[in-house]
A and B are shown apart, each in its own frame.
Chain A
Amino acid sequence: NAGVMQNPRHLVRRRGQEARLRCSPMKGHSHVYWYRQLPEEGLKFMVYLQKENIIDESGMPKERFSAEFPKEGPSILRIQQVVRGDSAAYFCASSAADRETQYFGPGTRLLVL
């Protein structure tokens, strides 16, 4: 019974490097959401994708951040030229439809040195 999978679980990058975070949704789910959580803060919506489509990216910074969910393979959140402020936990969630319950993956903890 595979739930939402994310990798890596922990990622360390130096300032200026690129970070790639992967998310495989739960079996049968075609909707993927990415969230960022800073220490002691709530979940902040970043982007909502379906296969090969970005549905809502209103929460994503306009520069350096991009997301995709290709026809084959996991969804990827890409952060270019990382800065220390990007250090956070990034959670992926999936649902079967856009009004259905979301289930979360274990998250990727990104640390930028």
Chain B
Amino acid sequence: QKEVEQNSGPLSVPEGAIASLNCTYSDRGSQSFFWYRQYSGKSPELIMFIYSNGDKEDGRFTAQLNKASQYVSLLIRDSQPSDSATYLCAVNTGNQFYFGTGTSLTVIP
């Protein structure tokens, strides 16, 4: 069983729509959770982190954490073509960071 699982996609949404990206993790002791964006040929760029159950909003991005269900999600409102990238979910178990394989998002103009 993988530590962090993501739907690889690709996920396509029209410009202006809400994109919903999901991630599950296996270690109940996981303490912190991160979303990174990676453009093709570039390095991962931190978008958001969340430590507590509930929602955390930053601009057009909202991270949601449900520790009971071991589930993390990222919502992107008013999606733009520039949001087209691979989104990586990462989990810190206290010993190590684990990354999902990423979800490819395409925002169609």
Contact = CB atoms under 8 A, between A and B. Distances in A.
B59 interface: no
Contact of B96 (A41, A45, A104): A45
Interface in B64-109: 88, 90, 92, 94-102
A74 interface: no
B55 to A, nearest CB: 19
A43 B44 contact: yes
B97 A103 contact: no
Given A33-B97, A91-B43, A101 B34 contact: yes
Closest 3 CB pairs of A and B: A42-B101, A43-B99, A104-B43
Nearest to A107: B43
- Taking residues whose C-beta sits less than 8 angstroms from the other chain, chain A's interface range is 20 to 34
19 contacts: A33-B97, A42-B100, A42-B101, A42-B102, A44-B99, A45-B96, A45-B97, A56-B95, A56-B96, A58-B96, A91-B44, A99-B31, A99-B92, A101-B49, A102-B97, A104-B36, A104-B44, A106-B42, A106-B43
A101 B46 contact: yes
Contacts, number: 45
Contacts of B27: none
A105 interface: yes
- Taking residues whose C-beta sits less than 8 angstroms from the other chain, chain B's interface range is 20 to 34
B57 interface: no
A48 B96 contact: yes
Contacts of A103: 46
Given A35-B99, A45-B96, 12 more contacts: A33-B97, A44-B99, A45-B99, A48-B96, A99-B31, A99-B32, A99-B92, A101-B34, A102-B34, A102-B46, A102-B90, A103-B46
Interface in A46-105: 48, 56, 58, 91, 98-99, 101-105
Contacts of A101: 34, 46, 49
Contacts of B36: 104
Contacts of A102: 34, 46, 90, 97
